[in-house]
Chain A
């Protein structure tokens, strides 16, 4: 299978997350921070190159926004974070991998407990997780 280009993945990310970015502009009166726009997708591509690249990249990017937005306490950030969580599930489930779901579940459980106890959101740590998570896929 031909390796997907970064440009193609970025274009697809923009399309797949388009509704979320429109909601972001409408309700948060801002746009999603440019420096994080492809953080999930790029990290996935560094650690995984297989038939689920696009879906995994989409899932990771949505998971990133979910955690990023839930660091804020405004109600609209919270709802948009929930929206991105539902999009994350939408792309994660068809990959059909129990180890992958478990990896995200364990990460979220640990991260939610950590942040509950005062740990700050860490974009680099999440990026590192995305880099490694594709390893559990056996294709």
Chain B
């Protein structure tokens, strides 16, 4: 009990430092956005918040090795990269709302959304020189390539229910989500001057965290009410074979038959759609929850050799918090 309380206090100290850093990062971003003519759209998209998981992770990993808060460039860079990729995702998914605000493609059209995201990439490039020679830039470039490969893999697999669907799902979420989160943790560690073995542990930690995060995200697609403007069953409509669906198909063969015979790009009838969501909620979610716990636990185990510190406690709490993530 006492130990837990101490952890929370340590985290709250780190949180207050973190938000200072994040505020600095936000201010820097806002100043830049003020000077350009695509301000309104971009400000809305970038400054509307979100979980800021990636810069948070980079910062916390950095604090494992360094006592100062001079990590703003990396935080801004990863947030810009992430925001650009979300804007592009919204164009591809034809999404109208994200983080409860209208998307750029919804207000200004696809073309302007694409150019806005490219602008953010140009801004991210400005920070590359800060980490020259550290290996951080190369890591982030490699990750962005693998994320692109993940996007193509997702298109290839859409509306297909293959025998090795579970294996493909994990390959996909590693590429699309997890390795970037792993890279944020690793890059924070590098910037903080941690030894190579700890950087590797942080990379694994972030990757496991990213896997757990994505599985949770995929569960949220089926559960409850509309969350942050995201419609229930959106992944299902896009033909994505996510883990809750895979587990539900294993438990209920009828579901497998229904989806296997679905036309490519064909939408489900309202009745079938409701049936699928009901079966997934009944049979798919619990197994996923178990797996989220498993990956969160695995994430914590990977950093067990890193010396204890408030920053390490914060990483542990971050992983544990995923088990109850609601948004």
Main secondary structure of the interface of B (DSSP, over half): helix
Q: Are A104 and B151 in contact (CB under 8 A)?
A: no
Is A85 interfacial (CB-CB < 8 Å)? yes
Q: Are B115 and A115 in contact (CB under 8 A)?
A: yes
Is B248 interfacial (CB-CB < 8 Å)? no
Is B106 interfacial (CB-CB < 8 Å)? no
Known: A23-B152, A70-B115, A78-B114. A116 touches B129 (CB 8 A): no
Q: Are B142 and A70 in contact (CB under 8 A)?
A: no
Is A82 interfacial (CB-CB < 8 Å)? yes
Closest A residue to B114 using CB positions: A70
* A contact residues around B144 at 8 Å (CB): 82, 85-86, 89
Is A2 interfacial (CB-CB < 8 Å)? no
Encoded as 1 (CB less than 8 Å from any A CB) or 0, chain B from 92 to 106 comes to 100000000000000
* B contact residues around A109 at 8 Å (CB): 119, 122-123
* A contact residues around B114 at 8 Å (CB): 70, 73, 78, 81
Count B-side interface residues using an 8 Å CB cutoff. Answer: 37
Q: How far is the CB of A20 from chain B (nearest CB, A)?
A: 10
Count A-side interface residues using an 8 Å CB cutoff. Answer: 33
Is B91 interfacial (CB-CB < 8 Å)? yes
Is B121 interfacial (CB-CB < 8 Å)? yes
Q: Which of B110, B149, B155 contacts A27, CB < 8 Å?
A: B155
Of residues 108 through 135 on chain B, the ones whose CB sits less than 8 Å from some CB of chain A are: 110-112, 114-116, 118-119, 121-123, 125-126, 128-129, 132-133
Q: Are B88 and A101 in contact (CB under 8 A)?
A: no
Q: Which of B92, B112, B128, B145 contacts A79, CB < 8 Å?
A: B92
Q: Are B128 and A101 in contact (CB under 8 A)?
A: yes
In Å, the complex CA distance between A108 and B121 comes to 8
Q: How far is the CB of B46 from chain A (nearest CB, A)?
A: 14
Of residues 87 through 109 on chain A, the ones whose CB sits less than 8 Å from some CB of chain B are: 87, 89-90, 93-94, 96, 98, 101-102, 104-106, 108-109
In Å, the complex CA distance between A55 and B61 comes to 33
* B contact residues around A117 at 8 Å (CB): 37
Encoded as 1 (CB less than 8 Å from any B CB) or 0, chain A from 4 to 35 comes to 00000000000000000001000100000000
* B contact residues around A98 at 8 Å (CB): 129, 132
In Å, the complex CA distance between A109 and B140 comes to 20
Q: How far is the CB of A29 from chain B (nearest CB, A)?
A: 13
Is A129 interfacial (CB-CB < 8 Å)? no
Q: How far is the CB of A31 from chain B (nearest CB, A)?
A: 17
* B contact residues around A125 at 8 Å (CB): none
* B contact residues around A105 at 8 Å (CB): 122-123, 125-126
Closest B residue to A20 using CB positions: B148
* A contact residues around B155 at 8 Å (CB): 27, 76, 79
Q: Which of A70, A73, A79, A85 contacts B151, CB < 8 Å?
A: A79
* B contact residues around A93 at 8 Å (CB): 128, 137-138, 141
* Sample of 8 further A-B pairs with CB below 8 A, known A113-B36, A116-B37: A73-B111, A79-B148, A79-B151, A89-B140, A93-B137, A96-B133, A105-B122, A108-B122
Sample of 20 A–B contacts (CB below 8 Å): A27-B155, A73-B91, A73-B111, A79-B92, A79-B155, A82-B144, A83-B151, A86-B147, A86-B148, A90-B141, A94-B138, A98-B129, A102-B126, A105-B125, A108-B118, A113-B119, A115-B115, A116-B37, A116-B116, A117-B37
- Name B's A-contacting residues (CB within 8 A): 36-38, 85, 88, 91-92, 110-112, 114-116, 118-119, 121-123, 125-126, 128-129, 132-133, 137-138, 140-142, 144-145, 147-149, 151-152, 155
The 8 closest A-B pairs by CB, nearest first: A108-B122, A89-B141, A86-B145, A116-B115, A105-B125, A112-B119, A109-B122, A83-B148
